[in-house]
Amino acid sequence: MPKLGADMDRGKVVAWRKRPGEAVAKGEIIVDVETDKAAVEVESFTEGVLEQVLVPPGEKVPVGTVLATLRTTGDAEIPTRAPEARAPATRVMATPAARKRASELALDLASIHGTGPQGRIQLEDLGQATPAPPPPPPPAEDRAQRMRQAIATAMSRSKREIPHYYLSHTLDLGPAALWLAKANASLPLEERLLLGALLLKATALGLREVPELNGFWEAGAFRPSPRVHLGIAVSLRHGGLIAPALHDADQASLADLNRRMTDLVTRARSGGLRGSELTDPTITVTSLGDRGVEAVFGVIHPPQVALVGLGRVVERPWVVQGRLEPRLTATATLSADHRVSDGHRGGLLLAAMDRLLQTPEAL
């Protein structure tokens, strides 16, 4: 069971996408897992043939439990699990043939009496056993409550352990808004760029200049990330939020970033996220502008060391080359870890975002 977020300790297998004996490619979706926050599609970390399914649908197990084994050509069985998984949990004793057949029939081995040595379940013990019915989905209000508890646990830990500092800066969006209007005039409706894509790209490029805000605090030290994976905070329809990653946001074109941003939000709300999108955000970006909020000072999501907040776009009086004129602006905030950086370095990120937005054509 992979660890799909710093606050996850257990997960439930919802459905297997592959049956024993079927080939599995590296990166292919192999199993659907449910956490307290979302339904997640988990990819295989290697290629081979699915040998055994060890955890049937409906079973909830701790992070690190081996879910299945794969066999590669000429190699022994290897566990299908996250690279940093812990030792597997105790499981029901059964022969490989019985385990394979039980997986095919979706049988709950724990409910079957074994007649083999030390109670081991054999193929003939399956007899007339009927498939276990799939567990009913939890009521929406129960899942929302579990999510709120998970969020509260993570945020309490963050405020207890991380010495936060906070900064804010008003971004001049005048040039970006003008350029965006011109760029979108020649694009079909479904390809038009959103201002949010420009703000994300400016954030990602700014992190190149201030790399100590992009990475993780682990084992008492900061580990910078060579790649910029923006965790995009998404509010969910049943309550709560989740922050999957836009991978390599600094490398993407605006059009690609815009498309991926829209797709990520859609899948986050419909339950189609990939495991890799939840395990490696290097910083979180949260925006409450569409809720009318002018500024948001967020709580850092450990083990990350910073969070950028974006408020709604507001028309304000602005001085441009000595003249007062109406200008579109937005407040950007930074919550950062004082163990890794200070206000001077944090201020450089917000200033870099503002500077980059003055030449949107270069983004």
A 10 A CB-CB count for 286 gives 23
Domain 141-362 in CATH 3.40.50.620? The answer is: no
What digits encode the pLDDT tens for the residues 288-307?
878 889 999 999 999 999 99
Residues contacting residue 207 through CB under 8 Å, at least 6 positions apart: 213, 214, 228, 250, 282, 283, 349
At 236, which amino acid appears? Answer: L
Q: How far apart are CA 316 and CA 358, in angstroms?
A: 17
What CATH number has the domain spanning 10-126?
Answer: 2.40.50.100
Q: Where are the domains of the chain?
A: 10-126, 141-362
Question: Residue length, the chain?
Answer: 363
Per-residue pLDDT at 263: 93
Top-confidence residue, 215 or 45: 215
Secondary element (H or E) of residue 330: strand 323-337
**Cα 94 to Cα 98, 112, 121, distances in angstroms:** 6, 10, 4
Per-residue pLDDT at 90: 47
pLDDT over 90, % of the chain: 55
